[in-house]
Chain A
Amino acid sequence: MARIRFENVEKKYANGFHAVKDLNLEIRDKEFLVLLGPSGCGKSTTLNMIAGLEEVSDGSLLFDDELVNYMPPHKRDVAMVFQSYALYPHKSVYDNIAFGLQMRRAPREETDRRVRDAARKLEIEHLLDRRPSQLSGGQRQRVALGRAMVREPAVFLMDEPLSNLDAALRISMRAEIKELHQEMQTTFVYVTHDQAEALTLADRIVVMRDGVVQQIGSPGDIYERPRNTFVASFLGNPPINYIEGQIKVTDDQMVRFVQGELELNFPAETAAKLADCDGLTVLLGIRAEDVEEGSHGGAGAVLTGKVNSVLPVGSDLFLGFELFGNELFFRVGKDIGHASGDEVSLTVDLNRLHVFDKDSGASLIW
């Protein structure tokens, strides 16, 4: 049982680095919350503050309404899994897993039962007598999970736990972590820079940049309705495409995006939100997958351009376009044969367009 609340939390280091700025966040009980952002955005610092490994410089951090700003980590009921696993090299796997319980003076039989239980769940029973140095990366990862699991903590913290695994293992561990969360029924806070991990695992995602929260929301929210260009660009592969242009509100209440020859008509719902933006310079965002081959969309919904590059990625085909001086990438079916230099028309899904203010980068429609 644990709710965690950040109220106007600041973190400044002695060297003047301002790692987290005015953080307000409520983590709900039993939620799977993912902190997502590039390195240096303050997500690990935030996690460390929950653990008590970093002190809050200003503001309040509350666990279930209790102020814990100055509570050292060993007094908090949290468990943590690290990127490097941080297993104790001088202890056996068994002792690594049992250590947290021993430090909390759990009865010996209880400790033993829990360690074996966790080992069975993680399928590492046969490794209990080994030393960490004798394990593979994936096995170490499991031991690290086991060490956190046996504690049955109120909050389960994970700092990029999958980054050191190879790609295939990473996907299967993702599934296991998700199962673990369902089984343990505790609050999970998970730090990653990997958008795919965040989208698969999270109940809610917090996107951070330079110590500032950019957006908090469900994976669907974050992906479909990014609140600014940073969030829009950070998620999606290949990244979202931007075209700079003007908003034009016509006399008949139609709203268009205009850039030279190109004119795109916004659907009514979007248009309503942009009614006041006549003449504003904006960035139009089109996700790579929100186009279809062909010009069946008709006027006001079609992009035409010259193919610059063709990048097959196995399941799909990325087409690179040169358009108004920008290189744009779109994802099209792999059956379509195109070569560089071909003139291609794409129909844009107008309901999925994103419009950002050019100067501030803030979304004008979400």
Chain B
Amino acid sequence: MSQFSQTNSGGIDYRRRQKVARLLQHLVILLGAAVLTIYALAPVTWLVSSSFQTEAEIVSVPPHWIPEEPTLQNFEAIFSATEEEEITYETRSGQDPASGGYIPSTAKNLIPSMWNSLIVASLVVVLNLLVGVPAAYALAKIRFWGRDASVYFILITRVIPDIALVVPFFLVIRKLGMLDSLGSLVLTYLAVTVPFSVFILVQYFEGLPDELDKAARVDGCSRFQALLRVFLPLSLPSLVAVVLFTFLTSWNEFLLALMFTQTEASQTLPIVLAAFTSDFTISFSFINAAGVLAIVPPVIVAVVFERYIVSGLTAGAVKG
């Protein structure tokens, strides 16, 4: 490129213009990167910052952007709030929400709810893999009668809005006596995760050469053995993507959990968190600390597995 403009007539002029253009481009990129970083991180940073502030500091006007006396008391409160402590109207009003930092009775549910979230998410992940992998292999590598119909069927189930499933789910689950159980969550989360998982896996399997499948079968593999011994070992990146997406979706899900859970036996983290926000007596510093706890695991997962997530999003085109 640059040699060409130099050898052209009026080379110096071109060189200069190109230099200016390149400088301008760098400037725009730098500016864009700065704006994007601030846009994406400022709100989270503010949340994290205020979770390290005392109740007294958090109510200052204008706000302290950086805590002057950083404290871990909000987090300590969460982790120590496990023992049963009767909270009555008296003990509640005995603490001044403006200065003392009121810790709600539901605080002790926070850690168990994280466990609930973890259990539900793990089960959903396992089930997704169990039903998703064989289905994806069949759709990607077997030319069978009804394949296109199956693909469209799965795609259609993917666009059913979760809110349209709430009423029928609720009535069925109530009839089965499964309200307020982790099982009901696992089942219903399958509806919002399986179609997407199948989609990611199909896209990946399609990318593996058909001849590999043929070679395996001529070499003596049944369909099942070809999947198990040839495709499964090769599909690790897509399996990781499925695990990540399914896990994050389950971990973050709110609407269905709100409908089907009632007590700490099944409440997941988002539910407990949401309960805090509707209680005006709870101090913001405590809520923020809880929010940070909810944010940390998925963000770590996203950052560590960035490569798999981006490729999974690319393959699956859109998260369902």
Contacts and interface: CB of A to CB of B under 8 A. Distances in A.
Q: Say if the two chains contact directly (CB < 8 Å).
A: yes
Interface of A: 13-14, 48, 51-53, 72-74, 78-80, 82-84, 86-90, 99-100, 103-104, 147, 151, 157
Contacts of A51: 214, 218
Given A14-B143, A74-B222, A80 B215 contact: yes
A48 B214 CA distance: 9
A82 B229 CA distance: 19
B225 A88 contact: no
Secondary structure of the B contact surface, majority rule: helix
30 contacts: A14-B147, A53-B214, A53-B217, A53-B218, A72-B217, A74-B220, A74-B222, A74-B225, A79-B218, A79-B219, A80-B214, A80-B215, A82-B214, A82-B215, A83-B211, A84-B209, A86-B209, A86-B211, A86-B215, A87-B215, A88-B216, A88-B230, A90-B234, A99-B216, A100-B218, A103-B225, A103-B229, A147-B215, A151-B219, A157-B218
B214 to A, nearest CB: 5
Secondary structure of the A contact surface, majority rule: loop
B212 interface: yes
For A13, A48, A99, the residue with the greatest tally of chain B CB atoms inside 10 Å of its CB is: A99
For A14, A52, A104, A151, the residue with the greatest tally of chain B CB atoms inside 10 Å of its CB is: A14
Contacts of B219: 74, 79, 99-100, 103, 147, 151
A179 to B, nearest CB: 23
B10 interface: no
Given A82-B214, A83-B211, A90 B233 contact: yes
Contacts of B212: 86, 88
Given A52-B217, A74-B222, 14 more contacts: A13-B143, A51-B218, A53-B214, A72-B222, A79-B218, A82-B211, A86-B211, A88-B212, A88-B215, A88-B230, A99-B219, A100-B218, A103-B219, A104-B220
For A78, A86, A90, the residue with the greatest tally of chain B CB atoms inside 10 Å of its CB is: A86
A153 B10 CA distance: 72
Interface string B189-216: 0000000000000000000010110111
Contacts of A78: 218
Contacts of B220: 74, 100, 103-104
B89 interface: no
Nearest to A73: B217
B280 interface: no
Contacts, number: 65
B4 interface: no
Interface of B: 143, 145, 147, 209, 211-212, 214-223, 225, 229-230, 233-234
Given A14-B145, A103-B225, A80 B209 contact: no
Contacts of A99: 216, 219
A87 B145 CA distance: 29
A88 B208 CA distance: 11
B146 to A, nearest CB: 9
Contacts of B233: 90
Nearest to B211: A86
Contacts of A103: 219-221, 225, 229
A100 B211 CA distance: 15
A74 B215 CA distance: 10
B218 A84 contact: no
Nearest to A87: B215
A181 to B, nearest CB: 18
A365 B74 CA distance: 99
A15 B119 CA distance: 45
Contacts of B221: 74, 103
Contacts of A74: 217-222, 225
Nearest to A82: B211
B3 to A, nearest CB: 33
B215 to A, nearest CB: 4
A74 B226 CA distance: 10
Contacts of A73: 214, 217-218
A100 B225 CA distance: 12
A151 B217 CA distance: 13
Contacts of A82: 211, 214-215
A88 B209 CA distance: 10
B191 to A, nearest CB: 30
Contacts of B229: 103
A3 to B, nearest CB: 19
For B217, B219, B233, the residue with the greatest tally of chain A CB atoms inside 10 Å of its CB is: B219
A90 B74 CA distance: 50
A87 B208 CA distance: 12
A76 to B, nearest CB: 8
Contacts of B143: 13-14
Nearest to A88: B230
A83 B212 CA distance: 11
The 10 tightest CB contacts between A and B, nearest first, are: A103-B220, A86-B211, A100-B219, A86-B215, A73-B217, A80-B218, A82-B211, A90-B233, A74-B220, A104-B220
Contacts of B145: 14
Contacts of B147: 14
A89 B212 CA distance: 9
A84 B214 CA distance: 12
A123 to B, nearest CB: 22
A117 B108 CA distance: 69
A86 B215 CA distance: 6
Contacts of B223: 72
A103 B145 CA distance: 28
A68 to B, nearest CB: 14
A90 B219 CA distance: 16
A90 B218 CA distance: 18
A109 B200 CA distance: 41
A35 B222 CA distance: 27
A104 B218 CA distance: 11
